[in-house]
Structure 1
Amino acid sequence: MKPRIIKDKEENMKIELKTKNIMLYGAPGVGKTHNYKRLITMIENGSDEKTIFDTISKNENTDNFDSSVFKNIEKENRLEFVTFHQSYSYEDFIEGFRPQDNGNIKLEDGIFKILCDDAKINLFKSVDNKEILFNDALNLILKEKIENQENVKIDLKRNNSFYNIYDYNDKTIYFEKQNGDKSHTLSLKTLEKMYYEGTNNIINGGLAPYYNPLLEELLKLKNKSKVEKSELKNFYIVIDEINRGNISKIFGELITLIEEDKRDDYEVTLPYSKEKFKIPSNLYIIATMNSTDKSIATIDIALRRRFTFLKMEPNIDLVPDIAKELFSKLNEFITNNLGEDYQLGHSYFMQGLDLEFVKEYKIKPLLEEYFYGDDKKYKEALYILNIKE
């Protein structure tokens, strides 16, 4: 996949990163979670790949960048943050059946699928086209009659059967079957996806007979007028503690689709909804991983080869002078006995440092865990910890 050159609102040339899946990893307290904001800001500003990776790898002060860029991404709902854990599942991430307040079970999209669908719609709107937007087409069919409290009759084209749409909002279309049954609804998100992909093959069975005739009516309007091209935008999902989740269980069949050269082209059929699903090229997956976590040894090899790893290391320049000597000696001791992946991060010694409190209630318990079962090494570490400045 070749990097695309895009323009921002000021017509400045920007290079779209080839790397879409980035893993920030390192010991506790090195600023993995803190640095993802700078990383996303640099991507959004169109910095080239080398500049981004070199800057983040230095792990310098992350507060000296324009935070308004990141806040704007959040405001436009182009970013989602999720933390993986042992109970996190495919149903949380992609799609699954969920109990409702009324006792029914309903198929709901997960956080990753929702964000992918939003990114795909933006991708469609950003290219030159002569097609009317989905919301405009839907309003042409429904808005006036619904506002006048009239039903919209949709023929099912089988045995003279039909259904009536009696209301809709930004998420759901409410309809009544010919026999008076109102227990089912149509998802606006699903219908919108079918509209932009121009196909009714996204869903099979179930409610497909009710989606398809409405889709046909919408597609008749699709080429009625020319619409202005929208700005291509990036979407981001940040996965904290990614190695704590069961990757095969959470990503399922989508683990292949996240590869950069599979974006936009390869698709799978989702097992629950039977929808055809792709991952768009304007979606970035930013993940963090704690290198001291014992679960790192079991991280899925499929995940390893699909991410570009960016190591975050402790930076003594960010440690106050009062704690520099302690910081250096502890990390030298830890490196010699456990390895560099277990070093203390600089964040333990930042933000209004009360050194005695940090030593007693943050670092000491961590050392106890590090040297569990080795009293000799633990006592040696405590001796260093009790150095008086």
Structure 2
Amino acid sequence: MTTSELYSSVEPAPDNSKVKLCWYVGAYQDTDITEYFLEEGIWENGYDDKYIDLVNSIQIGDKIAIKSSYNQQKNLPFDAGNKKVSVMAVKAIGTVTKNYGNGKKLNVEWEKLDNPKKWFLFRSMLTVWKVESQPDDWRYQALLDFTFADKPQDYEQFLHHSHRGEKYGIREEPNPPEEEGEEQQDASYPSYNENDFLRDVFISEEKYLALRNLLLRKKNIILSGPPGVGKTFSAKRLAYSIIGRKDEQFLKTIQFHQNYSYEDFIQGYRPTDNGFKIIDGPFYKFCKKAEADPENRYFFIIDEINRGNLSKIFGELLMLIEADKRGDEIKILYSDIPFSVPKNLYLIGMMNTADRSLAMIDYALRRRFSFFEFEPAFDSEGFERLKILHDNEDYNKLISEVKFINEMIQNDSSLGDGCAIGHSFLCPDGKIDEEWIGSVIEYDLIPLVKEYWFDNKTNFDVCCQRLQSVLSNK
């Protein structure tokens, strides 16, 4: 293969019914980055010392698929005797258009699947798995046909194949062998439970249980609070703690803004080369994804929920999101096909109570959501552990000054509790030193209090002096 061929681009093969080779690749690197790969039109090997030669061998025009692997016990499409069964979910398919030749990066023309396709009983947990049609093993072509030609999997054929074994009351033989010493990074996502949530989020166990139960009962909640109390951070981890693992495929996060509309959120016309076409929005797609997988819970997270015109964005779905209306069908604005919000979908919104430029949530939507308020957690057990861990006198002094300023904010009738300074402003990513403390004071805290007291120079000066005094003797 010449260098010019390596760095050129080609059109994807149009006929998916004759695919004989595909590279099944993982997209988990500390977190699921499938969406990043799809948006950028790439795939990257997350290892510096593995799969280099294998990735370099991938040719322009080769088929590629993003997959994730896990085990499933309940709601299987066949009888497995209540045993766990290996699953490989195919989340996107594509064609390689460029190989950078560094063992790390490919350009790919991706096609995202609205709902991952579940393939059972035969998989590899390697991050890069080359599947090629083999004359002496029909399973490989069956997987290729399932992936690219939409040919259903013949479960009975796989269950009675010699590799299934007595595990399912038939015979026993292992799955395709893995390379010795390979990490099975794709096999499952990191587990995440209540204890992990309480370690990461500075609220009490009692409040966590109340929040969890509130979401499961109401199905729609809004996490409200001042800036820096960890609303967005907590929303994802709340979902993880209910799912039981850090699995991004069950989460979708978007952000509302003033120009966001029903057509962006649910469904609407969009221009194409030949006119206009009805395009499904993220909420519509995610509802369909959850509907196709009723055994799992799905979480739709909306950041800055009060920045949008909520009645305009939700439209007729204001009724369908209610807990007792889940599963009810109506015809939505741009489609004659009945649509419903599934019972296994949960909405989590975040609302910044300090932004005075935003309107309050209207009463129609407020009735359909429960509100859970987050507060600064400087006195929580978790934050106390953080202070002990860093053991820094200047850091402790800064915390004391921020708590004093919060008292001033709370006592100011024009501000109040909703404008307090959150603890996440003082949660460092690494070590704490003078440079970090000075940066937080100068570029985070002082601009914030300046915004709060733009019309009260006395209060602003008091806050600045107290904050700057933390390092004044250095």
Normalised by the length of structure 2, the TM-score is 0.49
Amino acid at match of 2:421: L
Match of 1:247 in 2: 310
Query: C-alpha separation between the residues in 1 aligned to 2:302 and 2:322?
Result: 16
Asked whether 1:121 is paired with 2:292, we answer yes
Asked whether 1:278 is paired with 2:332, we answer no
Asked whether 1:21 is paired with 2:83, we answer no
The Cα of 1:10 is off from its aligned counterpart by 8.3
Moved more, 267-276 or 293-302: 293-302
- Equivalent positions of 1:141-156 (< 5 A) are none
Match of 1:348 in 2: 425
Amino acid at match of 1:284: Y
Amino acid at match of 1:362: D
Match of 1:375 in 2: 457
Query: C-alpha separation between the residues in 1 aligned to 2:302 and 2:470?
Result: 40
Query: C-alpha separation between the residues in 2 aligned to 1:10 and 1:90?
Result: 44
Query: C-alpha separation between the residues in 1 aligned to 2:409 and 2:469?
Result: 16
Match of 1:326 in 2: 401
Query: C-alpha separation between the residues in 2 aligned to 1:324 and 1:368?
Result: 19
Asked whether 1:108 is paired with 2:279, we answer yes
Give the secondary-structure state (helix, strand or coil) at the position aligned to 2:470: coil
Equivalent in 224, 235, 257 of residue 298 of structure 2: 235
Contact 2:378–2:399 (CA under 8 A) maintained in structure 1: yes
Match of 1:360 in 2: 442
Normalised by the length of structure 1, the TM-score is 0.59
Amino acid at match of 2:322: E
Assess, with a 3 A threshold, how the Cα gap between structure 1 residues 297 and 97 changes in structure 2: closer, same or farther: closer
The Cα of 1:249 is off from its aligned counterpart by 1.1
Match of 2:97 in 1: none
- Deviation readout 1:237-266 (Å, 9 max, x if unpaired): 1100100011011101101110101101x3
Match of 1:208 in 2: none
Gaps of at least 5 residues in structure 1 are 1-5, 46-68, 124-231
Structure with bigger RCO (C-alpha 8 Å, 6+ apart): 1
- Deviation readout 1:37-72 (Å, 9 max, x if unpaired): 221122224xxxxxxxxxxxxxxxxxxxxxxx12x2
Contact 1:24–1:32 (CA under 8 A) maintained in structure 2: yes
Match of 2:468 in 1: 386
Give the secondary-structure state (helix, strand or coil) at the position aligned to 1:298: coil
Gaps of at least 5 residues in structure 2 are 1-72, 76-81, 85-212, 388-395
Contact 2:306–2:359 (CA under 8 A) maintained in structure 1: no
Amino acid at match of 1:350: C
Query: C-alpha separation between the residues in 1 aligned to 2:251 and 2:342?
Result: 14
Asked whether 1:84 is paired with 2:256, we answer yes
Equivalent in 286, 289, 300 of residue 351 of structure 2: 289
Contact 2:398–2:470 (CA under 8 A) maintained in structure 1: no
The Cα of 1:349 is off from its aligned counterpart by 1.0
Amino acid at match of 2:364: A
The Cα of 1:19 is off from its aligned counterpart by 2.4
Query: C-alpha separation between the residues in 2 aligned to 1:384 and 1:33?
Result: 29
Match of 1:299 in 2: 361
Give the secondary-structure state (helix, strand or coil) at the position aligned to 1:281: coil
- Deviation readout 1:261-291 (Å, 9 max, x if unpaired): 1101x32211112221111100011111101
The Cα of 1:78 is off from its aligned counterpart by 2.5
Equivalent in 405, 410, 413 of residue 335 of structure 1: 410
Give the secondary-structure state (helix, strand or coil) at the position aligned to 1:88: coil
Query: C-alpha separation between the residues in 2 aligned to 1:380 and 1:322?
Result: 16
Match of 2:136 in 1: none
Asked whether 1:97 is paired with 2:269, we answer yes
The Cα of 1:322 is off from its aligned counterpart by 4.3
Match of 2:323 in 1: 260
Moved more, 378-387 or 353-362: 378-387
Give the aligned CA root-mean-square deviation in angstroms: 2.3
Greater fraction of residues in helix = 1
Match of 1:215 in 2: none
Matched residue count: 244
Query: C-alpha separation between the residues in 2 aligned to 1:40 and 1:96?
Result: 29
Query: C-alpha separation between the residues in 1 aligned to 2:74 and 2:222?
Result: 27
Give the secondary-structure state (helix, strand or coil) at the position aligned to 2:258: coil
Query: C-alpha separation between the residues in 1 aligned to 2:304 and 2:411?
Result: 26
Assess, with a 3 A threshold, how the Cα gap between structure 1 residues 269 and 356 changes in structure 2: closer, same or farther: same
